[in-house]
């Protein structure tokens, strides 16, 4: 009897190992829930829509911060930005959490082949990929942003250089914000990523006993809005309209909106002030075209998964890293705590899960523990996330009564935002400051879904209730900086040579800095324009060497 029992035990163990679900994680850069499955009547997103038709669509999913690197850190470590103390692009998460076990690393440690294509971790602006997370080297398409000769400059554009971690990117020319070239899909990066994903799925079919964790990071609709012409041609330009609200919420603090410095890094975009109506409508068209292009690449990957025969045992998670202001409130890009920046698309399709829609509140950091539970792996060794696997089985339930996200502003301010089913409260203060000194915003999405007015002063009882929820969370950590390292080695503390900085910015060598020259290579493009008046003491519209040097020492 011993041998037959042993045989049955070994056979059962083998079956369990073979039954481990695969994971296909689709990460999309700058994608807001502007999709057919989320109710939009203009955008063409048939492949995302068909994924939603076989999965659970989360109508109230929120990023943990509306900017690439902190948002992806939350997804991949389960740690919120305020727990890491990282709110910008340049600081690698391992500086704050050197021993963190990432989502793919956790699966790799439990017998999975972990692979990544395209943009998963934020790479660029000084940040790098995490080699410990992957079983094989990360795949990045060797491509440029542009296909047309007039846009394909012999050197990198300013934005390309930042993503390539090149130094002195400010010296380079600004690139085009849009492009519609009559080229094949794989002339641009997302087409190359889709082609490689198909190869990886075909290879996985040949190794049925080795479960895979495949992370596919599509680049569009991130700026620049480049896509083959056929995706632009899906839309009649006359069908686009400007958002009705063109101003920030009434009563909002002046620092809460974004000045959309990211978009201003592209040519034909003004360095300050609004876009023309023609420019705005063209950018809206470009965002739609780039979304449809990315959607088509997703369709190819889903087709390949179905053709491989592996779909029946594969968990698919579709996730947008944050939203995007598309002219609403007179704003563009992300970089705020408002609904258009914080609201994200999340769709989960898995074996045994019925298609549904849910109002359950979730955060990006919840995806890590959810996938671990669904794959029957140990819980993550760290993180702020909460598994929503139970919601997938019962979509009318919820695991949270609120979500929390953050955004920083100049002077060390951190805006911590509580989002419930109806309200959002934002508390702006420096970490450690007394709560009574905070600046507050309150919005009611039943009475005022467009965020036209800050209601904090008018509804103190609502504010008090939401602040009780906020009090459940630890204080935000300040941004990690090099100051502690400088204290450890004071002799190496860098000293700014502001005269040299002036010379580097004075491109035409006329002894004066225009505002454009002043903004070159500023590390905080949203905040830097606000410092201009501090430097321009005589109001002349240009800076002398003396004004620039003295202004930086105040």
State the Cα angle at 409 between 97 and 539, rounded to 5°. 140
Q: Among residues 122, 285, 322, 402, which one is catalytic?
A: 122
152-157's contacts with Cβ under 8 Å and 24+ in sequence apart are none
End-to-end CA distance of the chain: 85
Active site residue 122: yes
Each residue of 156-193: b (16+ CB within 10 Å) or e?
Answer: bbbbbbbbeeeeebbebeebbbbbbbebebbbbbbbbb
Residues 6+ apart with CB under 8 A from 219: 29, 118, 119, 189, 190, 193, 294
Round to whole Å and give the CA distance between 30 and 243. 19
What are the phi and psi torsion angles at 276 (to 5°)? -75, 160
Residues 6+ apart with CB under 8 A from 250: 452, 453, 454
- DSSP 8-class letter at 206: T
Question: Does the CA dihedral 142-145-150-154 come out positive or negative?
Answer: negative
CA 165 to chain centre: 18
Q: Among residues 37, 68, 333, 365, which one is catalytic?
A: 68
Q: Count CA atoms closer than 13 A to 200's CA, side-chain side.
A: 28
Round to whole Å and give the CA distance between 367 and 362. 9
Active site residue 365: no
Round to whole Å and give the CA distance between 130 and 375. 23
Name the E strands within 194-306.
212-218, 225-228
Residues 6+ apart with CB under 8 A from 243: 326, 327, 328, 329
User: Which stretches of 78-187 are DSSP H helices?
Assistant: 81-84, 93-96, 103-109, 158-163
Question: Residue 356 is encoded by which pair of tokens?
Answer: 């549904």
86 closest CA partner among 414, 429, 527, 524 = 414
40 closest CA partner among 247, 225, 288 = 288
Round to whole Å and give the CA distance between 529 and 531. 5
Active site residue ranges: 68, 122
């Amino acid at each position: 009897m011993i041998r037959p029992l042993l045989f049955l035990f070994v056979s059962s163990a083998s079956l369990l190992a073979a039954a481990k679900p695969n994971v296909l994680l689709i990460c999309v850069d700058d994608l807001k829930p502007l999709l057919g499955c989320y109710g939009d009547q203009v955008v063409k997103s048939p492949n995302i829509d068909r994924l939603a038709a076989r999965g659970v669509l989360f109508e109230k999913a929120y990023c943990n911060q509306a900017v690439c690197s902190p948002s992806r850190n939350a997804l991949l470590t389960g740690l919120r930005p305020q727990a890491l103390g990282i709110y910008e692009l340049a600081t690698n998460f391992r500086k704050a959490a050197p021993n963190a076990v990432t989502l793919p690393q956790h699966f790799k440690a439990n017998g999975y082949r972990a692979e990544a294509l395209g943009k998963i971790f934020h790479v660029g602006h000084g940040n790098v990929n995490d080699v410990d997370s992957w079983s094989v080297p990360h795949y990045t398409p060797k491509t440029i942003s542009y296909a047309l000769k007039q846009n394909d400059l012999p050197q990198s554009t300013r934005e390309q250089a930042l993503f390539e971690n090149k130094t002195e990117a400010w010296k380079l020319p600004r690139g085009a914000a849009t492009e519609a070239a009559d080229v094949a899909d794989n002339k641009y990066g997302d087409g190359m990523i889709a082609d490689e994903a198909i190869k990886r799925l075909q290879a996985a079919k040949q190794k049925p006993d080795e479960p895979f964790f495949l992370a596919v990071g599509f680049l569009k609709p991130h700026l620049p809005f480049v896509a083959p012409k056929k995706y632009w041609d899906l839309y009649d330009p006359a069908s686009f309209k400007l958002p009705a609200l063109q101003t920030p919420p009434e009563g909002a603090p002046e620092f809460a909106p974004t000045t959309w410095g990211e978009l201003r890094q592209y040519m034909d975009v003004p360095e300050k002030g609004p876009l023309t109506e023609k420019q705005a409508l063209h950018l809206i068209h470009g965002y739609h075209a780039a979304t449809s292009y990315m959607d088509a690449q997703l369709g190819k990957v889903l087709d390949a998964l179905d053709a491989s025969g592996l779909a029946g045992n594969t968990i698919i998670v579709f996730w947008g890293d944050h939203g995007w202001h598309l002219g609403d409130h007179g704003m563009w890009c992300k970089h705020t705590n408002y609904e258009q920046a914080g609201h994200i698309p999340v769709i989960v399709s898995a074996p045994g899960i019925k298609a549904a829609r849910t109002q359950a509140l979730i955060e990006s950091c919840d995806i890590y523990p959810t996938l671990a539970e669904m794959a029957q792996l140990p819980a993550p060794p760290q993180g702020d996330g909460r598994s929503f696997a139970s919601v997938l089985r019962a979509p009318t339930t919820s695991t949270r009564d609120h979500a929390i996200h953050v955004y920083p502003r100049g002077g060390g301010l951190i805006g911590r935002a509580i989002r419930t089913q109806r309200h959002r409260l934002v508390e702006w203060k420096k970490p450690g400051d007394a709560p009574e000194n905070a600046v507050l915003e309150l919005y009611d999405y039943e009475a005022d879904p467009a965020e036209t007015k800050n209601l904090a002063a008018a509804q103190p009882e609502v504010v008090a209730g939401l602040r009780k929820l906020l009090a459940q969370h630890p204080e935000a950590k300040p941004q990690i900086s090099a100051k502690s390292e400088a204290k450890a080695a004071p002799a190496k503390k860098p000293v700014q040579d502001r005269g040299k900085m002036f010379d580097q910015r004075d491109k035409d060598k006329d002894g004066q800095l225009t505002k454009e020259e002043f903004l070159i290579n500023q590390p905080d493009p949203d905040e830097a324009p606000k410092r201009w008046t501090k430097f321009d003491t005589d109001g002349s519209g240009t800076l002398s060497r003396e004004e620039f040097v003295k202004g930086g020492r105040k």
